[in-house]
Amino acid sequence: MKPLTKWSPLSELSTLRHEMDEIFNRFFEFGGGWMPAMFRERVFPTLESFYKEGKFVVRAELPGIDPRDVDISIVGNQLTIKGERKIEKDIDEEDYLMRERAYGSFMRSVTLPEGVDTTNVHAKYHEGILNLTMPCAEAIAPRKITIEIEGPEIKVVKKAA
């Protein structure tokens, strides 16, 4: 027989919260679970941006996409890349054993930093990677900031072996 213990409503809430967390984790688990396929897809296309040699660069991964099906526009300081990955028409739906690739229209927008010359954009597509380069002012390129450390000095004492 179990010993009598005082009932605590807060411990019951903790158990309920743990069980609800487990349900949500299983539902939204990437690569499986009950989550609808449209939410399982990665954000596409994946992007990266950086400064290099006085230029601001944006790279987009567009594997398997014809660059003629990609539109690039800049409005104000907003860069937008739109396109479509078209499904192959020569394969019937019932012939697929597995299909993880996403098909259809996509759009990604990036806010460009101030000082980027949007009137002089160069776009190049090579092996599934779209590279956009734009001149930028040196003043907007990142610079390293030194941190001053205040406080007592730390001494290292070596122990004799």
What are the angstrom distances between the C-alpha of 116 and each of 48, 132, 140? Answer: 16, 12, 8
Structure tokens at 127: 């092996």
For residues 119 and 159, which has the higher predicted lDDT (pLDDT)? 119
| Mean pLDDT across the chain | 80
Question: Nearest 5°: phi and psi at 139?
Answer: -65, -25
pLDDT exceeds cutoff 80 at 55 = yes
Encoded tokens for 43: 């954000």
Fold assignment, 41-140: Immunoglobulin-like (2.60.40)
Amino acid at 115: G
Terminal CA-CA length for the chain: 59
pLDDT at 88: 75
Does this model's pTM top 0.75? My answer is no
- Asked if pLDDT for residue 33 goes beyond 90, the answer is no
Span 120-128, average pLDDT: 95
Can you give the residue ranges of every domain in the chain?
10-39, 41-140
**Is residue 153's pLDDT more than 90?**
no
**Three-class secondary structure assignment of 76-88:** CCEEEEEEEECCC
